[in-house]
A and B are shown apart, each in its own frame.
Chain A
Amino acid sequence: MTSDELIQRYAQAVASRLPYAIRADVRAELYALLHDDIQAKAGDTIPSLQQVEERIIAFGPPQEVALRYHRPTPIIEAVDTPLFSKLAFCLVLGLIVLAISIGLSSPTATSAMLQDGLKDAIFIVLGVLLAWFWALGALRRAQPKLFTWKPANLPPVLDPDLVSRPIATLGLLAGVVGLLILINPIFFFDLLLGGQSPAMLAQAFSYDIHFLSDRAPFLWGALSLALLTYAFAILEGRWRPVTRKLALCLSLAIAVISLWSVLAGPMFTATPTDSSMKFWVSLIAGVTCADVWLKWRNQTLKTHLAQAKQL
């Protein structure tokens, strides 16, 4: 290879990474510039291959030089990257929890089937998310007025420890009703239907006797304690570090007991109800675990920040 060929190759390597419209122009210009530069260094002699190599190394790798000539529009803009990362992480985590819930509740689902399904679902979800953010960026570049920032649109600063009593009370009521239904679903159906539930319905929602004697007391107990903690926070009007930690520990305990309940044996006597219940209990346990981890992390960060402030 001659020194001139090396310059041509370099100019070509840079130009090939540029949009077609400016490719030939940049290639010719870069070749002329490098040629002049190298020839000036070599004086009256023909530049050696080593001299050319040294100059083009100083000029930079072709991909970096191409970026200096033309910066392509990003697929995901820097302003959207934190939201994209958060959504991608949550969706992938959600899919993993969903796959585990299906695995725990469905006796026919094999590990290979679940892995394949999970892989496909992750690729599809991430692909759709990527396309969505790319379209958002393109729209922002095309119609900047649509995305004009206004101070009035800023969200209010909320005290994360403050408990909104009306909303929290409604939440607590819903939790109590849900727990009562869970403890005695037949009674709920009797109330709903205004009398005796049909035998088929009663049979479908009858708890397994071993579940009722071994696991249910722990599950109902942990759920009741969690509701009591929540009620205490409502009374106080805010979450204190102690109640926050207690609520987190109870959430974790509920998740562990739920998973134990699912894995230890049937929860309902009827197989279809048992499968459905196991699916939902696993799903809720998985979501609870993720929630506990996130809250625990925030709590730890908050504690570190408070300690740093004291120092």
Chain B
Amino acid sequence: MSAFSAIGERGEVEREEFTPGMEPQPTWCPGCGDFGVLKALKQAMPEVGRSPDEVLLCTGIGCSGKLNSYFESYGFHTIHGRSLPIARAAKLANPGLEVVAAGGDGDGYGIGGNHFVHTARENHDMTYIVFNNEIFGLTKGQTSPTSPKGHKSKTQPHGSAKSPIQPLSLSLTSGASYVARTAAVNPNQAKEIIVEAMEHDGFAHIDFLTQCPTWNKDARQYVPYIDVNESDDYDFDTTDRSEASEMMQKTEEALYEGEVLTGRFYVDSDRPSYGQEKRAIGEMPEEPLAERYFDEEYDWERSHDLFLDKHK
């Protein structure tokens, strides 16, 4: 019998179950794009069909890091930039969990950039939502890794001399097997993309455009947006790496010219997830490790029996 009976109980799940019983008042500013992520995530859950007890939502630091304060599930509000290594280890420890990580653009593409590259490379079976508002919000408006070149802020008084990071292209070259961009102002597409990302067996990265009405007033509200999968103006194959790559670059450049392109950019459903790869080479057990500590029948190995002979 499983010690984690919530896992695997698929079926009817209501959106309301993901709203805390006594909802804490979000600390986000009025008009913040973060509300859009919370809403889309809650809406996605009934379609994914997993209960709050099955979900582990790991967040970073920043306004986005408070997501799990307002979303009912197991939550781990970690430290700046480190949600991914914590989340992916939890998935390895108990693969039955639905693991989601979330954080801002500074958190994921700046301080946590190394983890982003490597988690994508390893293709862990999890979803990563990056709240991309092109600014550091909670620390009051400093230039972020996605701020446009020339962006002025208190810490870049003469305008940023740096070109912004290209999150979609970085994700693709790093090895993510599902890459999408959506926007807070487009809740239906956002919900659909979150559902697909959670159902995807591999690392699914969502660059989620979230307007910051307080510190990034100059930036657009990410409207109007165009869905590249539906628009007749764009024709590319999301399963083809080079076509996806070209489309991503076009999209990343367009954003800074005022054109908001969203949608699925790359989907590779064939690539095995990291857990599958690890199991295939015998470096990860078939049964979830977390269960073993509750298995009273398990015969725990001893180094005295297994390893001491070679020292004699």
Q: Are the chains A and B members of one assembly?
A: no
Q: Which B residues lie at the A interface, using CB under 8 A?
A: none
